[in-house]
Amino acid sequence: RVTLVLTDDEEREIRAHAAADSVRRIRNGVAIAPLPPYCDRRKRVLFLARLQSRKRPREFVQMASLLATRLSDWEFLLIGPDEGEAEAVKREIQRSPHRDRIRWIGPVAPQLAAREMQESSIYVLPSRGEVFPMSVLEAMQAGTPCVVTDSLGIAARCKEYGAAIVTDGSVATMADAVEAIAQNPVLAESLRVGGARYLQSESDIDAVASD
pLDDT at 25: 79
Torsion, Cα 131 136 141 143, to 10 degrees, reads -150
pLDDT at 33: 87
Task: Write the CB contacts of 182 (distance below 8 Å, at least 6 apart in sequence).
Answer: 43, 45, 71, 74, 121, 122, 188
The letter for the amino acid at 22 is: S
Rounded to a whole number of angstroms, the distance between the first and last alpha carbons of the chain is 18
Residues in the chain, pLDDT under 70: 211
Alpha-carbon distance values, 192 to 18, 24, 34, 98, 151 (Å)? 38, 30, 11, 29, 21
CA distance linking residue 126 with residue 172, whole number of Å: 12
pLDDT at 130: 86
pLDDT at 10: 83
Name the pTM for this structure.
0.90
pLDDT at 13: 86
pLDDT at 28: 80
pLDDT at 198: 94
User: Is the distance from CB of 43 to CB of 182 less than 8 angstroms?
Assistant: yes
Alpha-carbon distance values, 37 to 52, 74, 78, 123 (Å)? 31, 19, 22, 15
Spacing of C-alpha 96 from chain mean position: 23
Buried residues in 65-81 as b, exposed as e (16+ CB within 10 A) = bbbbeebeebbbbbbbe
User: Is the distance from CB of 169 to CB of 201 less than 8 angstroms?
Assistant: no
User: Is the distance from CB of 125 to CB of 135 less than 8 angstroms?
Assistant: yes
pLDDT at 31: 84
Task: Write the CB contacts of 82 (distance below 8 Å, at least 6 apart in sequence).
Answer: 51, 106
The letter for the amino acid at 26 is: I
CA distance linking residue 168 with residue 172, whole number of Å: 9
